[in-house]
Structure formats: C-alpha cells, structure tokens
Structure 1
Amino acid sequence: MKEFIRVVKDFLPILPAVLFQPPKDADKKSLGRLFQETAARYEKRTAIIFEGRELSWGQFNELANQYAHLLKKHGVKRGDSVALMMENRIEMLACIVAVAKVGAACGLINTSLTGRPLVHCVTTTESKKCIIGEELIDSIVDVKSELGLADKDFLWVKDHGKKTCPEWACDLAAEIDSMPISNPPETVEITAGEKALYVFTSGTTGLPKAAVILHRRFLSAAEPYSRVAFRAKPEDRLYICLPLYHFTGLGPGVGACFYSGASIFLRRKFSASKFWPEVQEYKTNLFVYVGELCRYLAAQPVCEAEKNNPLETMVGNGLRPDVWGAFRDRFKVGRISEMYGSSEGNAVFINLLNKDRTIGTTSAKVMLVKYDIDADEMVRSPKGKLIAVKKGEAGLLLTKIDDRYQFDGYKDKSATASKVLRDVVKRGDSWFNTGDLVRQIDVGFALGLGHYQFVDRVGDTFRWRSENVSTNEVGEILNGSDQVDMANVYGVEIPGIEGKAGMAAMTLNEGVSFDPVSFSTYVCSQLAAFARPVFVRIQGQAETTVTFKLFKGNLRKEAYDINQIEDAIYILKPGSSVYELLDEEFYQKIVDGKSGY
C-alpha cells in the first residue's frame, strides 16, 4: 500500500504533461517564440551564468534579438539554413535562438570536426551562411575553399579576443551593439512544422547524418522534459556541460529551461574535478547527463564538495546500472529520470516514476521483435511477419509512426527511408527502426505502465558459443572490477570459428597495474563462460566521442593483431581460467585456425 501511495503521489502532479499533445504543424509556435515568451515572463530573473558572466532573461532575449537583426542584415531569411560552429558559451545559445527567431534552420556542427566531415556537414544542409566562433576559426580556414560560400558568408563571433577576425569574414562583434533589441516581427508567425535545427549523428561509422528537428520536435522535448522529468521551476538551476550541438544537452536540457524559466549554469566543457565545487558554488539542483560522464564522476575520489550537495534531479541517457548506485547512495540524488530516445527518433521513454535502472516508459506504441544476431537481421515467420519477443527477452525496438509520433527523418531522403518499416502489423502502417535491442522488465508497482531497459545497439551484440552476448552488460560487469576504470567490449572474429569472440579494451584505475590473476578470478566469478572476453587489451586512454560514447570501429579492425598494436593483449586460452599475455606463437595458431576454440 505504501508503494501504491508513493507512485500515485509521484504520478498525479505530472499527469497533464504525460498527456501532452505536440503542436500541430500549422500552429504558430516555435523555439524562438517559446524563448521570448519565457523571457518576458521572467525578465529580471537570472537566465544564464557562464564563466563569471550572468544575464537575466530580459538581457538574454535582447542579445538574441540583436543577433537576429544582424542575421537579417546579412541576408538570412525565413527558410534558409545557417551552419553554426561554436563551443558552449552564451553567444552560441544566443545564435541558435536568433536563427530560430528569423525562421531559418540552424545546423549544429560538432566542434571536433575537421576536413571532409566538416565540409559534409556544412554543405549537406545547404547552409547560406556559416557562423564561426573565434575559438574554432582554424578548422574553417583549412576547408574554407570547399564549402561553396563567398567570403562574406562567414560570420565571425569573438570569444576571448586572442585572435582578430580574418579579412574574409564579417566581424559580428563590430556590428552587434548597433542592432535593435526588439523582438523580430516574424518570430510570432513561424509555425511548428518549419525546420528549427539540423542535429548530426555522431558519425562513428561513415559521415554524420543530419537529423531534421522541426520546431514541433523541440517543443515536444522542452515541455515534457521540463514538467515530467526535471519538474523544473523558475527558481531551479540546471548544470549543463554537454556540448549543445548534441540534442541531449539542447533539447531536454536547454529546452526545459526555455519552458520553465529555470536558469542555466553553462560550462564550455565537462570537468570531473570541478563538477561538485561548481554545483555547490552556483547552487545547481538539476543536472543533464550522458552515462559515461556519470561514470567519470563516480570514479573520482571522495571530496568535501560532493557531501550535502544541492543536486536533486538528474535527467539524461546511458546511465549504466553499475553507476546508478553511486548517484543514489554516494551522491544522494533523489530523482534519476533516465530517458531513451535519439535526435531523429519519433518517440521517447522517460523514467517518470523514479524507478531504478530503467529507461522508463512511453505512451508511444512499441514492438520488441526477434533479431538474429548472426545474420544481423530481423526474424520473420513463414508468412513473412515479424515475431514479437516474450516479456523479459531482448528484442529490436520498433516505435509506431503516427500523427502524434511523427518521424521527420534526415536531410538525406534515402537515409530516412532506410529507417522506416511498413506493413508490420497491418497494411499501411509505418514503424521506426531504432536499431536498439531493448527488454521489458518488472519494476514493481508502476500503475500498469510497461517499463524497459536498454540492452545494446544492434551490432554491439554478438554471438559466441551459441549464446548472444551483450557488450553493454559485459562492460558493466567488467567495470565492477577494482582494477578497471572503463571497459569497451566488442566482438572479433577468430579464423575457422563461428560467431565472434569477446574482446575488451580496458583502461585501468589511476595507479593500478594490471594483475591478470585477480582479474581472471573476478571475471570467472561474475561472467558465464560464453560471456567472458577471450581477449583483453590494456589501453592508456579510452577513445570516446565528445559526448563520451565509446568508439569501437578501429578497435574491431585492429582486433588482437599484435603486429599492429602496441598495447598489451591478454588471452583466455581454451580450457584455461587465467588470462596470459598473447605471444607470437599462439597468435600464429589463431591466424592459422589452429587455436582450439
């Protein structure tokens, strides 16, 4: 009965937000309008704090308006696309809002991109202008001639003033103060069905794809995440250190503040050592995260600033089960609203009832269907129908596309078509293929709402010894070893052997030397024989994206080739229970198909 009362009390206040209906495409609602209406409502309250600088909502809106008028002066109009390459700072957010206010779409460029991927991102969105921060000007210089833009199409925004604006670019800092501070008249005319943003996939394989974010989609993140996940209020303050070209930081994070009037503490980049002192100093009680960032925090030594900290609620994705406890027990975070979704996906899951180790629930219609790991394809019945998995089994997640949960896709129409399955349940229906393996789990009393748990990306699960192995689950267990800081698990081929053998590229905790005997004891006690990595690679540093996703592509290619790799590689030989260094003799046996596996 106590659990029933707790869940009901937790659910009732957010019921209106749970029933939230996205705006219709023709509705005059947009990112820019939401921002300026919130700014008018909370004009004198703090909107944003960044590197010692603080702006009220009124001041922030005036700055965004000046950039909007400046963009119009330089020829940007409704329906255009504008590329934006800038690090997290006040001007970056002001430019995003400014582009939205004039009705153009803002292409958010990953700040680490150079060369061909950078050219691809600017040109694929058909950007008419490129706003570039002083801090990243060198990246543009190297590819400027390949972008198809005239010199004055580059709009330069000062940072610390260490560099001067190049002659071929327009210095916005020299013009900004002369611009009007009034709201552009076209902002209130922009509709929910117009393009607001292009958010690029991480591009861990191939070139990044531009996901189309309509104003409707941004608003569909801002209100529910604000009311359901963060439960944000104007007096709250959100700690944001994720890159704002990534939708987790921008949609659920910034969007929640744009909706609620909560203030933003913005950081240029994440720092594990400065996190808790800043949480205390700036009294941030909300936090938007990605999972590996949380792992870095959990791995830090105990510090005074983490004790009695003001952090109450955190919202994000990818929080691993082995780290969840640290935030509950060590850091005393009362509410963890893990979510699941993607920049381009049509549905989201939210842990709205504050259950442990779950991505939560969704009001979208979903299917979990059988997936053949070896063949890398969905399993079909003799009649060609997809087969639903049983409750508790991992299956490929499909989300139904309908009027409420629309799939806006990518700029590339062929990439959009590749993600849609048709005639799945009945003729004429459409489903979004998430590419993720998910299982439904029992979380106790939950008002009848199905709850789910992320298992792995398709391709990150492999088959060994006739068993499916989840790289995510094995990685979580290896991370529990007192030697391991981070484990990146993937499958590699062994000549003459069906399936793929597990391999873990691991970084060790600071000051720790790898002890294969104690590690072997841990692995054998925690993992079934088929799930134990056959190979272990000891890395000095893990290779991750700027959003802390682990790269696996190069690791898979290099596999266990001791002639290519300088890192130490250990192997669990057939019949052995102790890892030992892989030497040239046994490596040659593997290559020759005589390893005995």
Structure 2
Amino acid sequence: MSHDATKDIISLSDVIKQVPQFAKKLPNVLNGLRHAYLRRPSSACGLGWAFEKAVEENPTGTALLYEDQKFSYTELNAWANQIADYFLKQGAKKGDVIAVMIENRPELVVTVLGLAKIGVVTALVNTSQCSKVLSHSINLVKPFAVVIGEEVQQAVLDVQNDLELAKDKYYWFADDAFKTTAPKPFVDLAQAIQTCKKHNPSTTNQVCGKDGLFYIYTSGTTGLPKAVIFKHSRWMLAYGTYGHVLDLDQDDVMYATLPLYHATGMVVCWCGVIAGASTLAIRRKFSKSNFWKDVQKFDASAIGYVGELCRYLLDCEPTPEERNHRVRKMIGNGMRSNIWHEFKERFNVDEVLELYASSEGNVGFSNIFNFENTVGFSPTPYAIIAFDKEKNEPIRGADGFCQKVKKGESGLLIGKITSRSPFDGYTDPEKNKSVIMENVLKSGDKFFNTGDLVRDIGFRHAQFVDRLGDTFRWKGENVSTTQVENIVSDYEKISEAVVYGVEIPNTNGRAGMAAITLQEGKSLDENDLKNMVNAFKAELPAYAVPVFLRIQKQIETTGTFKYSKNKLKEQAFDPEKCQEQIFVLLPSDAAYSEVDATVFKQINQGKYRF
C-alpha cells in the first residue's frame, strides 16, 4: 500500500507538541551550533582537534569496539599519533592525499584519524572497487601514498601497473584473521610505526576549516567515480549539528555497520560519538542475522542506518534480541515512509534522526523534532522549485526566474551558495559549473543543484521523493548508469545498453535494469546468461550488476539523441507492459533467467529477497 504523503504536512501545532522533547537537547544543540558556525576561519578545528578534546574529557573511556577488541580514547589516540608521526617522517605534509582502502576495522579508523591530525587528506576508496574503476579512483586524487588492508590487496595488485604512484609508497595492514608477511611492494605499516611518537603532534592545532579532510567518491556521469572534497569545516558543521542533536554521552555506544568509506558512517555516526566522548562499535560487514546479537554484545544505545539496512531487518523473523536492548535512537538516511512507524514499533526505538545531505552539497536537513516520514528541518538557505521531469529541467517563468513549489508539492531541491553555505566542489572544475545554477529566484543569486526531488511539507521540513539524473541508489550505494552502460556494452554480443533503476516492491532504492540491443545476427544462449553475470561481476561492484535485462530491437532516443528512460522506468520488468524478453538475476543464482508472468508475480509478492 502506498503512503499518503498529505498526512505528513507539518503544522504549527505539530511543532509545538514536539518542543518539550526537543528542549531537553537544546543546551547541547546550542553548544554544537557554536562549534559549527561561530569559529573563525583560521581557528584550529576538525576531526583531529575534536578527537583530542574527547580524549581530554574521557581519557579512560572506551572509544572503539570491534569484535573482541577494545580501545580507550587514550589508546586509540596514541596509535593515531604514531601513524601521524610516521607519515610526517616520510615527508607527507598538509594538503597531500593518501588513498586508504580498508574494510570496517580499527586500522581504518585510526589511519583516518592519524592523517587528519597532520592535515593529510584521506581518499576513502570503496573496498568493492576493482579493475579500471579502482585505478581511476586512486589516480584521480594524485596520492602521496596508498594504505590498504590485506583483504583488498589482490584488487590493488591487479591494477598496480596502472597506478601513478612511487614503488615505496604502498602500505599495508594485515587482516586480523590471517597474520602474514606484507607482499611486495607493500610496507607493513603496523611494524613500521612501532618506534614512532605517541604524543599529540603540534600539527593538529595547525589544521583549520579550509583544509581538506576526506575525498569521498560519488557516482560520475562519465561512468567513473568523482572525488568530492570534504573539508574540516564541513566536518565541524556535521559535528556541531548532527553530532550534537544526536545527544550522546559517555555511557552511550553507537553501533555502525555501515561502510566507513561513506559519509553516513564515517562522518555522521562517528562525529556523534566524538561529540559525546562516547563509544563507536563497528562490524566488518553488515549481517542481518547478527545485527541484534551485536547490539546486545556491544550494549549499543544508538545505531547508524541506511534505508536498505532497515528493510533487511524487517524481513527477518522476529527474535528475542530485537527488543531486548537499550537502543532508543538511530541516525541515518533513506528510511522509507511505508516502514518508518513499523520499524520503530517492532524494534522498540523512540527516535529516528533521519537526515539529508550529500557529499558534495551545501544543504542539509535533520529530523531534530522527531517527526515521522521526513528528512527533517534545515537551517541552511534552500529552495524547492518547480521541475519538468519530461524535459529534465527546472521550470522558468516569463521573467526567466524559477518558481518555488507550494506546501505539499514536490520539486527540485537547490541550496543557496553563500559564505556560510559554500559549495566546496569536485576535483573537476567543469563538473562544478554543471551543478551551479545562476539567476534562479533573482538576478545574481547562485544555487547548488542537488539533483534530488523533495516535497515541501511545511516549517522548513522536507520529504525525499526521488533522485534525478544518471545515478540511482541500490543496496545503500549510488550506482552510475553510465559506468554500468559502458561495462554491459563491452559484452561481445551486446551492441548498446541503456541502464536505469526500477523499483521492486518492499525494497529500498531502485534495482539496476539494462535495456540492451544485440549485435546484428546475434542471440543469447544459456552460456551467455551465465557468462554475462561473470563478466559484469568482474568489472562492477556487486550492487551495480544489473538485476534485470530487457532485450530490445532498437533503443528509443529523444530529438537530441538522449536515451528515453522515463518510459523504460515506467514499464520496468513487467513482461506484459514491455512485450519484449525480460531476464532477471535472482538472489543466489549464477545466471540470468527469463521473467514470465509467474516469475513477475513471485517477485512482486516478495518471494525473492533482493
């Protein structure tokens, strides 16, 4: 059943009812806003500065939990200081970039922290990447060095000859489960830092807001990832807003099983922990069967989420652990309206701090009043403007200006570019130009185009509707349609491919679907249906492999030769609407199989858990 969005309109009386609950957080929120907005540009700030502050507040308290490992704030800080000291001795300096590719474990957390203390930018490489995409991602940021975990060493060794990196700048951490010797050309970083200094480096206080902290990768319209700079000033903004609204204290434990190469885990969850001098508990990879067991094991009081994670948990059979815990709040994004209330009720969670932000954007929302079905409230200047989905462009009036939508209506979300809400941008200047809109509501103004449709539900609250452009979200990851089109088109029998996202009932995001045309005289046999899966998996992360294929004789284009995706999205994988052959890669299958009326019905009834 679809959710009735008209019921989510927020009135003044609704806000007044939530004030007593919000008032309890107000002192902490005001303290956070002081950090976020009132610091001078030249003041020391950022991840390293805030972590050292937390060490002073809670030196013996637990900073990090992982499996059976436990690190106090003092211990984790000393380890990070050794990494900082080592790379200073290797000649790394403020503004240099080091690419880091490690799965969720202490070595990733401490490396990021150590590099932040010396002003080195960490490029957070997606651990699912391989082949051309991986070499592109690393070369794109021109790194001083690369630090990897043993678990991804083969993917890096496979592209080593393509990397623009000195042979003596490869560093390695053993996987906890397999203590081995670092293969050439890697240096074992755990051994290399043994004699390094454990006290705080002076460089921490030389890092300020304008300095880079991370490169976070997002899907690129060219088919390869873009690297977005995330400065210490933006981290302080997250720390001062999301971090303090979360309102954790030294007794709290945040369980984050999200990949830490994404901002939701690395920035939002961890900054909330640091703001409260609390504990971060991490897991290598998400496990729905172990989720609530881990919550009990770590005695978690808060959890980080994305919408896909929430749906997976709801799909599981009920267990005693899912209510026998002290989790009362959660922070993240992508909670679907049709499961929001059900999730809170079933798992006994009081507060869902849904938020909206993008790695590159300048506008953010946070659900500070704990309403349901909203990304929350935004203090930053923004507008929601009328948008023509068919023409794929904002609607401008006779005067040339865009029009704001009315309450209850959907439109394109844009963030006003000001000194307080700057647009830090991409590594590619041309890409920066393409997302900046000028003369939007009046002459001379500038806005950042988020590429997202949202609904205005009143009192500066919004509701996420859909993502525009050449990306879609699946399995909690952004998928570049162009990247997938390039890989699919490389298959020997395929002439052309158009990739788009389609909705599967009771799932989050959109599953990848490729409409393909075959080379003249070619057809697909049983071997192809298996070989295509292997070929796609060799070049794409698992979440980007198309779930559906549609065989077309000719791909429809617009008058300007752009692919007509709207009709394809609407027909999705319904064989009756398509009147063409449809294939699906069912969960756990090794080959594509045909979608007939029976399979289509089973997919819609939820027989298969995608």
What is the TM-score when the length of structure 1 is the normalising length?
A: 0.79
Choose 217-226 or 490-499, whichever is displaced more. Answer: 490-499
Q: Could you list the per-position Cα deviations for residues 559-593 of structure 1 after superposition, in whole angstroms to 9, with x for gaps in the alignment?
A: xxxxx963314499xxxxx9799xxxxxxxxxxxx
> Residues 428, 189 of structure 1: CA spacing in aligned structure 2 closer, same or farther, 3 A cutoff?
same
Q: Indicate the residue corresponding to 2:587 in structure 1.
A: 541
- What residue identity is the alignment partner of 1:363? P
- What residue identity is the alignment partner of 1:567? E
Q: Indicate the residue corresponding to 1:456 in structure 2.
A: 466
- What residue identity is the alignment partner of 1:456? D
Deviation, structure 1 residue 232: 1.1
2:433 to 417, 430, 443: 417
Would you say 1:386 and 2:402 are equivalent positions? yes
Deviation, structure 1 residue 18: 7.5
Contact 1:407 1:432 in 2 (8 A): yes
1:98 to 99, 111, 114: 114
- What residue identity is the alignment partner of 1:500? K
2:351 to 332, 335, 340: 335
Deviation, structure 1 residue 114: 1.0
1:326 to 342, 352, 361: 342
Q: Indicate the residue corresponding to 2:189 in structure 1.
A: 172
2:90 to 74, 77, 87: 74
CA distance in 1, matches of 2:403, 2:514: 26
CA distance in 2, matches of 1:121, 1:32: 25
CA distance in 2, matches of 1:156, 1:114: 17
2:322 to 306, 311, 315: 306
Deviation, structure 1 residue 92: 0.6
Partner SS for 1:98: helix
Choose 419-428 or 268-277, whichever is displaced more. Answer: 419-428
Deviation, structure 1 residue 72: 1.5
Deviation, structure 1 residue 432: 0.7
Q: Indicate the residue corresponding to 1:279 in structure 2.
A: 295
Q: Indicate the residue corresponding to 1:587 in structure 2.
A: none
Contact 1:25 1:194 in 2 (8 A): no
Contact 1:489 1:505 in 2 (8 A): no
Q: Indicate the residue corresponding to 2:234 in structure 1.
A: 217
Paired residues for 1:563-582 under 5 Å: 566-570=593-597
Q: Could you list the per-position Cα deviations for residues 67-117 of structure 1 after superposition, in whole angstroms to 9, with x for gaps in the alignment?
A: 111111222112211111111111111100111111111111000111111
CA distance in 1, matches of 2:268, 2:247: 12
Partner SS for 1:197: strand
CA distance in 2, matches of 1:152, 1:226: 38
Deviation, structure 1 residue 427: 2.6
Choose 18-27 or 252-261, whichever is displaced more. Answer: 18-27
Partner SS for 1:316: strand
What is the TM-score when the length of structure 2 is the normalising length?
A: 0.78
Partner SS for 2:464: strand
> Residues 389, 276 of structure 1: CA spacing in aligned structure 2 closer, same or farther, 3 A cutoff?
same
- What residue identity is the alignment partner of 1:336? V
CA distance in 1, matches of 2:196, 2:266: 26
Contact 1:487 1:504 in 2 (8 A): no
> Residues 25, 120 of structure 1: CA spacing in aligned structure 2 closer, same or farther, 3 A cutoff?
farther
Q: Indicate the residue corresponding to 2:414 in structure 1.
A: 398
Q: Indicate the residue corresponding to 2:19 in structure 1.
A: 8
CA distance in 1, matches of 2:167, 2:390: 51
> Residues 461, 205 of structure 1: CA spacing in aligned structure 2 closer, same or farther, 3 A cutoff?
closer
Q: Indicate the residue corresponding to 1:84 in structure 2.
A: 100
Paired residues for 1:483-494 under 5 Å: 488=511
Q: Indicate the residue corresponding to 2:217 in structure 1.
A: 200
Contact 2:571 2:578 in 1 (8 A): yes
The alignment's C-alpha RMSD in Å is 3.2
Q: Indicate the residue corresponding to 1:59 in structure 2.
A: 75
CA distance in 2, matches of 1:308, 1:118: 42
> Residues 111, 356 of structure 1: CA spacing in aligned structure 2 closer, same or farther, 3 A cutoff?
same
Q: Indicate the residue corresponding to 2:129 in structure 1.
A: 113
Q: Could you list the per-position Cα deviations for residues 515-549 of structure 1 after superposition, in whole angstroms to 9, with x for gaps in the alignment?
A: x9xxx9xxxxxxxxxxx999986541399xxxxxx
> Residues 227, 176 of structure 1: CA spacing in aligned structure 2 closer, same or farther, 3 A cutoff?
same
- What residue identity is the alignment partner of 1:212? I
Would you say 1:227 and 2:244 are equivalent positions? yes
Contact 1:368 1:398 in 2 (8 A): yes
Deviation, structure 1 residue 316: 0.5
Q: Could you list the per-position Cα deviations for residues 478-504 of structure 1 after superposition, in whole angstroms to 9, with x for gaps in the alignment?
A: 32xxxx899748797996999515244
Q: Indicate the residue corresponding to 1:500 in structure 2.
A: 567
CA distance in 1, matches of 2:466, 2:122: 31
Deviation, structure 1 residue 307: 2.2
- What residue identity is the alignment partner of 1:166? P
CA distance in 1, matches of 2:215, 2:470: 27
CA distance in 1, matches of 2:360, 2:602: 44
Contact 2:281 2:298 in 1 (8 A): yes
> Residues 99, 534 of structure 1: CA spacing in aligned structure 2 closer, same or farther, 3 A cutoff?
farther
Contact 1:340 1:348 in 2 (8 A): yes
- What residue identity is the alignment partner of 1:16? L
CA distance in 2, matches of 1:489, 1:167: 38
Q: Could you list the per-position Cα deviations for residues 50-74 of structure 1 after superposition, in whole angstroms to 9, with x for gaps in the alignment?
A: 1200000000000000111111122
Q: Indicate the residue corresponding to 1:182 in structure 2.
A: 199
> Residues 489, 66 of structure 1: CA spacing in aligned structure 2 closer, same or farther, 3 A cutoff?
closer
Contact 1:537 1:570 in 2 (8 A): no
Deviation, structure 1 residue 131: 0.8
- What residue identity is the alignment partner of 1:167? K
Would you say 1:48 and 2:64 are equivalent positions? yes
1:136 to 128, 149, 152: 152
Q: Could you list the per-position Cα deviations for residues 239-270 of structure 1 after superposition, in whole angstroms to 9, with x for gaps in the alignment?
A: 01111110010111111112221101111110
> Residues 56, 534 of structure 1: CA spacing in aligned structure 2 closer, same or farther, 3 A cutoff?
farther
CA distance in 2, matches of 1:17, 1:417: 36
- What residue identity is the alignment partner of 1:568? V
Would you say 1:441 and 2:457 are equivalent positions? yes
> Residues 137, 359 of structure 1: CA spacing in aligned structure 2 closer, same or farther, 3 A cutoff?
same
> Residues 3, 427 of structure 1: CA spacing in aligned structure 2 closer, same or farther, 3 A cutoff?
closer
Choose 5-14 or 92-101, whichever is displaced more. Answer: 5-14
CA distance in 2, matches of 1:370, 1:490: 28
Q: What percentage of aligned pairs have identical amino acids?
A: 34
Deviation, structure 1 residue 397: 0.6
Partner SS for 2:378: coil
Q: Indicate the residue corresponding to 2:532 in structure 1.
A: none
1:365 to 381, 397, 405: 381
- What residue identity is the alignment partner of 1:47? A
CA distance in 1, matches of 2:158, 2:247: 45
Q: Indicate the residue corresponding to 1:525 in structure 2.
A: none
